[in-house]
Structure 1
Amino acid sequence: MKVEPIAFTPTEDPGSGMLRYRHADSGCTFLVGPPHADLALWRQCMDGALEVYRHYGSEDALEYDAVIDGRSTILFGIALDAEGRAVAGVRAEGPHQHVDTVHAVASWAGLPGDAAFRRMVADQIPDGVIECKAGWTVRDTPHRRELADWVARAIVHCASLLGVRYAVGVAPDHALKCYRSSGANVAWWIPATSYPDDRYRTVPIWWDMQTYRTVATESQTRLIDLEMAELTADGTRLPIVWARDEGSA
């Protein structure tokens, strides 16, 4: 697979080069696009993630300095509240051409189940795989639950917009219910590990765009459909495309 950028010139209007919709109940605006569509919003997304991860003492897992230039991120989602404050976000890497570039798989090297995890993702790559990371929500908002559910849906949106079949990642036990609500499968045959440290029991997860509806809750599925319709209603296309490289493995 390969990603080919389309010529794009962002304007001064925040998020003008991104797909968006507004959530009436929370008053939040949700946007999805590549980092270069709005570098200021991209930095707000990552700075928000850094603040949350730092609060829990797990900022090393974010790898902020390595990813802040945006080059490794193909899409990110960000939620802005009524005052324009970034209150949630997530980012996606890929589509991956080889299993060695999938960070989640690399993080499992030398651990029980590493061969099984590697084989699973390698088998998925011909149909398109992205890796979703750095999901976060602010802690001081009355809509934290709704925002967490949106982060889970945003992963499905990223995969759908990119036309890949799979999204992969890792998640701690306490987040599994949220991610499963949007269709995530848990790789139950791969032993959990302590990542990023001993406070967490973390397992590999993945979404299959052909079957996620059989796992997702009815409410999340309904919102995924409504939001995707709004994101694509005006025919705007994101300034990226990807094409399958038949030689990839």
Structure 2
Amino acid sequence: MTTDYVNANRFSRTDIPVRDLEPQVLTTRGATRLIVATPSSAPQLWLDYLDGARQSYASHGVSMALEYDTVVRGDCTSLFYAAVDEDGTVIGGLRAQGPYVDPHQSHALLEWAGQPGLQLVTDAIRSRLDEGIVEVKTAWAADGPTAPTVAGMLARLAIPTFTLMGTRYIMATAADHVLRRWESSGGRVAEHIPASPYPDSRYRTSLMWWDRETLAVDADPAVYAQMVATSAPLTTNRQSSFSPSRVGAA
């Protein structure tokens, strides 16, 4: 399928509802494939992705931040991306939840609980709800020689996620040094919000936003072109509006 780009800031949304999304290879780098799916359309891939996340989080001593027993059910996840190697092993990925209808659906409010920036986080989310927010979470890449490739793939999923979800905004929370790596894809750290020591005092967690309307300006031109190419298999020239959900935070 082809995409009719109205201008440099616009890209189409797929006409396939996310709930009906079948597993699809978005891009391949060397022997690594990046697959997009939903927990219900690819249940084994979903479990493999989360098992890898659990191992990754455990290795960094932050297992509690994953909330595995809640997330594994899949009902709080709209879609997920899994990087798979030539042997079929999941070596990284991330998931998306939303679109949100209330700030309290975001785990960010728990991450800033008791911190000076809590109200600023709440207000930032609330002010963007009407135009749609998806949150990306549980990003990880397995240690080893494939880690840079996988990290690069995961950092370039803004346009595919906008394409599938139809929202204006994507949000993410992570350690500040991790988010800085994602700035080339158009993400911008909310500098006015004080970082939170989450999940513990070793970390400084910050909030990042991607804005669909300014992405072409905010992103590095080469990275933007790569994101457009990655989303091409998903898109048609039909625009659709997002449908907010009442998926709970996790």
Deviation at 1:7, TM superposition (A): 7.7
Identity %: 33
Distance in 2 separating the partners of 1:6 and 1:27: 27
Maintained 8 Å contact 2:79/2:96: yes
Q: Which of residues 160, 165, 180 is equivalent to 2:163?
A: 160
Structure 1 7/177 Cα, relative in aligned 2: closer, same or farther at 3 Å? closer
Unpaired runs of 5+ in structure 2? 1-16, 246-250
2:61 paired residue among 41, 57, 62: 57
152-161 or 165-174, which moves further after superposition? 152-161
Kindly provide the CA deviation profile for residues 147-192 of structure 1, in whole angstroms up to 9, marking residues without a partner as x.
1121122244223211011111212122122211211111100111
SS in 1 for 2:157: helix
**Residue 47 (structure 2) pairs with residue 43 (structure 1):** yes
Shift of 1:242: 4.9
Q: 2:23 aligns with which of 18, 21, 44?
A: 18
Paired letter, 1:189: H
Report the TM-score when normalising by structure 1. Answer: 0.84
Aligned counterpart, 1:192: 195
CA distance in 2, matches of 1:176, 1:148: 12
Which residue is equivalent to 1:243?
Answer: 243
* Distance in structure 2 (CA, Å) of the matches to 1:27 and 1:70: 28
Structure 1 counterpart SS, 2:186: coil
Q: Which runs of no fewer than 5 residues in structure 1 stay unpaired?
A: 9-15, 236-240
Compared CA separation, residues 7 and 120, structure 1 to 2 (3 A): closer
> Pairwise mapping of residues 127-142 of structure 1 onto structure 2 (< 5 A)?
127-140=131-144, 142=145
How far did residue 244 of structure 1 move?
Answer: 5.1
1:105 shift after superposition: 2.6
Aligned residue number for residue 96 of structure 1? 100
CA distance in 1, matches of 2:19, 2:83: 25
TM-score by length of 2: 0.84
**Cα shift at 1:124:** 0.5
